[in-house]
């Protein structure tokens, strides 16, 4: 029932006199009325999506459902970036262009929740058969953005500007050799024509239902994956001097990389992480192998720091290789920039999120070291990404990607209010 309270409060506070003084308040009140009128649709859409999850770049059914919904609302629809959908809603009055984004893909996770609409889907993922589940809550994201589209399309004549709906595939990454996600959406011009001025996104997290959390600057980490190959020269384990040992060199590299954060980074500026999670080489105790291959990841919240750490890794890998008579290469892949909330936009929109969340607003939410490809939109235009709590009272929170990840559907209309209010308040000139 918590879900109904903010709507009721907004309606009570909105008198006709207040509307005349503040046209934005009139638009917001109308949006709230329309959101309340969505009735069970948000839940119905979300459950249908939850029961029919699709992996990245394979969101065929989801994408068709979204496209049909937008078309029925009279929104101009374009397909792009594999299974992506862009909807353009031109308001009746001139004004800026605001984009709202939802990601559509599910994860290779087998659902363990016992829900009436539990997913039993299975699919091929990189040559393996896997269970498929909306374990990151993207089903809620799609449902909320479909709801926001319905609300805003109903108010088209009074909208001072254009709203672009971005339904994006493959946020969670892809099997080797495929491209997709926000990076491909941007490359295919999703932010052009009409040229998007600002972009907003929400992500569900297991915070108390109805919480909205955001912060200026880096909110989610950049994520870069790296592979380090150290080439030595194979020899007998009893005669190491006759070769060059990539295992000893690799071990030195791992330790050296661990002192980048502690010795080269200013910890008062922003946190950073360097992890080597895989170390492969050799197959017998008495053979020095030819090669060691390591894989790892770097996380930062600051673009300069990200570049600084990448350079430090290259430098340290090369200097250890030179010192040990081996050769080494570093290759980078799977990059996501910092999910960086534009400070001016965040300051401007904070009152909006405060108003929607009320007592559950967390304007300086903690950073998370996970990453989001929403950052690709933010690298092009000012953007704001916020977290929506979906963990109901009395339930032990389960992290995103858990086979028991749970979405409290009472949060759905709150998410719609956040999206529609962000759009409306950013279309109207700042006071």
Q: Residue 144: CA atoms inside 13 Å, Cβ hemisphere, count?
A: 32
Site string for Zn ion, 105-144 (x = CB under 5 A): -------------------------------x--------
Q: Which is nearer to Zn ion, 30 or 372 (CB)?
A: 372
CB of 135 to Zn ion, least distance (A): 7
DSSP-based three-state secondary structure for 352:
helix
User: Measured from the CB of residue 162, what is the shortest distance to Zn ion in angstroms?
Assistant: 26
Cis-peptide, bond into residue 419, ω within 30° of zero: no
> With contact defined as beta carbons under 8 Å apart, do 386 and 163 qualify?
no
Among residues 115, 109, 125, 132, the alpha carbon closest in space to that of 178 is found at 125
Name the residue among 212, 215, 203, 216 with its Cα closest to residue 359.
Answer: 212
| Residue that has been written with the tokens 């009055």 in this structure | 93
Which residue intervals of 4-92 are DSSP H helices?
A: 4-13, 16-21, 23-36, 41-51, 60-72
How far CA 403 is from CA of 53, 107, 115, 353, 420, in Å, comes to 13, 10, 12, 30, 31
Residues 113-132: b if buried by 16+ CB within 10 A, e if exposed: beeeeebebeeebeeeebbb
Shortest Cβ 204–Zn ion spacing (Å): 8
Q: How far is the CB of 93 from Zn ion (least distance, A)?
A: 34
Residue nearest to Zn ion (CB): 136
Please count the residues of this chain forming the interface with Zn ion, following the rule CB under 5 A.
Answer: 1
Smaller CB distance to Zn ion: residue 137 or 210?
Answer: 137
202 binds Zn ion (CB under 5 A): no
* Rounded least distance, CB 58 to Zn ion, Å: 16
Q: How far is the CB of 43 from Zn ion (least distance, A)?
A: 20
Name the residue nearer to Zn ion (CB basis): 312 or 412. 412
Rounded to an integer, what distance in angstroms lies between the CA atom of residue 332 and that of residue 310? 9
The nearer residue to Zn ion, 32 or 105, going by C-beta atoms, is 105
Q: Cβ of residue 172: shortest distance to Zn ion, in angstroms?
A: 5
Which residues of the shown chain bind Zn ion in the complex (CB under 5 A)?
136
């Amino acid at each position: 029932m918590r879900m109904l309270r903010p709507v009721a409060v907004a309606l009570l506070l909105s008198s006709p006199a207040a509307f005349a003084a503040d046209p934005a308040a009139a638009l917001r009140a109308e949006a709230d009325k329309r959101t309340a009128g969505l009735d069970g649709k948000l839940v119905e859409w979300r459950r249908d999506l939850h029961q029919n999850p699709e992996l990245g770049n394979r969101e065929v059914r989801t994408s068709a459902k979204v496209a049909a919904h937008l078309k029925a609302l009279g929104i101009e629809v374009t397909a792009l970036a594999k299974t992506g959908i862009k909807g353009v809603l031109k308001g009746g009055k001139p004004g800026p262009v605001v984009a709202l984004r939802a990601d559509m893909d599910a994860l290779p996770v087998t659902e363990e929740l016992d829900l009436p609409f539990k997913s039993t889907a299975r699919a091929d993922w990189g040559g393996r058969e896997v269970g498929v589940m909306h374990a990151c809550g993207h089903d809620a994201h799609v449902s909320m953005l479909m709801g926001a589209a319905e609300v805003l399309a109903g108010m088209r004549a009074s909208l001072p500007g254009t709203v672009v709906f971005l339904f994006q595939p493959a946020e969670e990454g892809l099997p080797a050799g495929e491209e997709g996600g926000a990076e491909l959406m941007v490359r295919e011009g999703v932010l052009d024509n009409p040229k998007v001025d600002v972009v907003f996104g929400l992500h569900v997290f297991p915070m108390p239902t109805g919480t909205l959390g955001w912060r200026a600057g880096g909110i989610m980490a950049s994520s870069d994956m790296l592979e380090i190959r150290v080439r030595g020269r194979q020899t007998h384990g009893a005669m190491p001097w006759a070769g060059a040992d990539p295992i000893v060199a690799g071990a030195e590299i791992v330790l050296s990389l661990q002192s980048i954060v502690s010795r080269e980074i200013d910890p008062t500026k922003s946190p950073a992480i360097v992890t080597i999670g895989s170390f492969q080489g050799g197959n017998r105790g008495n053979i020095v192998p030819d090669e060691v291959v390591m894989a790892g990841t770097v996380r930062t919240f600051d673009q300069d720091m990200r570049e600084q750490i990448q350079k430090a890794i290259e430098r340290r890998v090369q200097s250890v290789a030179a010192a040990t008579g081996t050769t080494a290469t570093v290759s980078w892949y799977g990059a996501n920039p910092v999910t960086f909330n534009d400070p001016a936009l965040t300051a401007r929109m904070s009152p909006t999120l405060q108003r929607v969340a009320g007592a559950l607003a967390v304007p300086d939410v903690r950073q998370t070291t996970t990453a989001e490809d929403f950052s690709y939109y933010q690298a092009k235009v000012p953007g704001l990404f916020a977290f929506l709590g979906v963990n109901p009272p009395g339930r032990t929170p389960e992290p995103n990607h858990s086979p028991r990840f749970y979405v409290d559907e009472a949060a759905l209309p709150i998410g719609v209010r956040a999206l529609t209010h962000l759009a409306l308040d950013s279309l109207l000139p700042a006071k």
